[in-house]
């Protein structure tokens, strides 16, 4: 598995047209770089309340399915990454007021539970789990790695 390539000119690169340049990487790598997917998914990414998180995760999962229907693995992987990021960011806001892990003086902030953000995180986690365990997604990921990441 090759690492995500941060040296590409993502501002001017359309990875729908050049999927051979896409590297899956680990976790959420590249989620805010890869176009045109960032532009298509980011406007729907929200987690402030459980209702907003549900609407957001439903829309992003619908995009995941649309990319699947279009046989667009890169889009599927980017939607999966946005779902994962919804979970991880909501968890951070659950644990730390304002999402800040460190205080101004560099010390670790005191953890404070936010039940709304915890519920939002759970909503995104369920959608993320559904996406990452999708059989077509797993097959297409292996095919992408075999074809482009050797």
pLDDT digits (tens, 9 = 90+) for 119-132: 999 999 999 999 99
Distance between CA atoms of 55 and 37, rounded to whole angstroms?
Answer: 19
Q: Which residues make Cβ contacts (< 8 Å) with residue 135, sequence separation at least 6?
A: none
Give me the pLDDT at residue 115, please.
84
Give me the pLDDT at residue 23, please.
94
103 versus 46: which is more confidently predicted?
46
Residue 43, CA atoms < 13 Å, CB-side half-sphere: 5
Distance between CA atoms of 64 and 137, rounded to whole angstroms?
Answer: 9
The answer to whether residue 56 scores a pLDDT higher than 90 is yes
Q: Which of 13-22, 32-41, 90-99 has the lowest mean pLDDT?
A: 90-99
Give me the pLDDT at residue 132, please.
98
Give me the pLDDT at residue 2, please.
73
92 versus 86: which is more confidently predicted?
86
The answer to whether residue 90 scores a pLDDT higher than 70 is yes
Instruction: Please give the C-alpha separations between residue 23 and each of 26, 71, 83, 142, in angstroms, as whole numbers.
Output: 9, 17, 18, 12
∠ Cα 58 64 67 (to 5°): 140
Give me the pLDDT at residue 139, please.
98
Question: How would residue 110 be classed by pLDDT, with cut points 50, 70 and 90?
Answer: low
The answer to whether residue 145 scores a pLDDT higher than 80 is yes
Instruction: Report the run of H or E that residue 51 belongs to, with start and end.
Output: helix 50-69
**Mean pLDDT within 21-41:** 95
């Amino acid at each position: 598995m090759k690492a995500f390539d941060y040296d590409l000119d993502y501002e001017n690169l359309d990875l729908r047209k050049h999927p051979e340049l896409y590297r899956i990487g680990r976790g959420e790598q590249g989620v805010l770089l890869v176009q045109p997917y960032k532009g298509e998914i980011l406007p729907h990414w929200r987690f402030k309340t459980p209702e907003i998180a549900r609407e957001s995760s439903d829309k992003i999962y619908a995009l995941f399915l649309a990319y699947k229907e279009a046989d667009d693995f890169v889009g599927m992987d980017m939607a999966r990454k946005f779902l994962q990021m919804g979970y991880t960011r909501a968890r951070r806001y659950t644990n730390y007021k304002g999402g800040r892990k460190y205080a101004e003086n560099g010390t670790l902030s005191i953890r404070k539970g936010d039940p709304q953000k915890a519920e939002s995180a759970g909503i995104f986690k369920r959608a993320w789990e559904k996406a990452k365990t999708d059989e077509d997604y797993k097959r297409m990921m292996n095919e992408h790695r075999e074809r482009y990441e050797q």
